[in-house]
Amino acid sequence: MAGRPRVLVALPDPTEGATVADWLSANGYEPLHRTSPAAAAADMQARAIHLMIADAGWAVGTALQSVTRSRGQLVPTILIGEAIERRATAVNAQTMYMTRPIEKAVLACFVSMALMVDRPVRRSPRKTVQRFDALVNGLPSGIVDVSAEGLRLEVPRDRKAALPPYFAVRVPLVGVAIIAKRMWTLSTSKQAPTIWCGAALSHNRASSEERWRAFIDTIPVNGDGGLRVSA
């Protein structure tokens, strides 16, 4: 992504929008703050936009509803709004959601996730599972969803520093162990006791990845009985 990534900030409140724009600028992004759906939609059509941060209430019923591409490219979107608004139809399949008040650190995590250039392309469906125990570099953690190429972990907040760029994930009871590459971390709030970590399988032997795929094929999705594995 050449130059500073351009982020369209489509938020109606001038103070909130200016604050978000200031945070983005300080982190090396090029923010464009617009206070109406029509102005934001015009920018989407007129210039290259790498990310849109928009009010959730504008996701449907406004000019933004049908404008999800910038110069032919699908634009990742972060919608800001309350839980009731989050049930609205998403702007596009790359949409993430945040509630107000916006926390600077959480927004930074979301923006980083949305703009991650080297995130893997998931070639198989992701399965959300009933949380089960695993060991991450020997430390107790939880797995909350899986795919053939990666997983999402729930890690105690005080162990965030124990997540290096590459780490071992092990489910001792079933004899599965893989090496994973950390792709992103996310804290849902300052009060949350855990953080999420997205990881992709990396530097594994073919036999290890085969065992991983066989393992996740046996896991029912959440709501179908789930799986609990004690580490």
**What structural domains and CATH numbers belong to the chain?**
6-115 (3.40.50.2300), 127-217 (2.40.10.220)
Starting at the edge strand found earlier in the chain, the sheet holding 30-34 runs: 30-34, 6-10, 51-55, 77-80, 95-98
Q: Which of 168-172, 179-183, 220-224 has the lowest mean pLDDT?
A: 220-224
**Average pLDDT of 184-205?**
79
Q: Which residue has the higher pLDDT, 19 or 62?
A: 19
Determine the pLDDT at residue 194.
82
Range 49-71 average pLDDT? 68
Handedness of CA 71, 77, 80, 85 (dihedral sign): positive
What span, in angstroms and rounded, lies between the C-alpha atoms of 140 and 159? Answer: 10
pLDDT value of residue 175:
82
Predicted structure pTM score: 0.52
- With beta carbons less than 8 A apart as the criterion, state whether 18 and 35 touch: no
Lowest-confidence segment of 42-51, 56-65, 79-88 by average pLDDT: 79-88
Range 54-79 average pLDDT:
65
Q: What is the three-state SS of the chain?
A: CCCCCEEEEECCCHHHHHHHHHHHHHCCCEEEEECCHHHHHHHHHHCCCCEEEEEHHHCCCCCCCCCCEECCEECCEEEECCCCHHHCCCCCCCEEEECCCCCHHHHHHHHHHHHCCCCCCCCCCCEEEEEEEEEECCEEEEEEEECCCEEEEEEEHHHHHHCCCEEEEEEHHHCEEEEEEEEEEECCCCCCCEEEEEEEECCCCHHHHHHHHHHHHCCCCCCCCCCCCCC
Average pLDDT for 163-181: 84
Instruction: Report whether pLDDT(32) > 90.
Output: yes
Report the alpha-carbon distance of residue 75 to residue 96 in Å, rounded.
Answer: 12
Q: How many Å from the N-terminal Cα to the C-terminal Cα in the chain?
A: 41
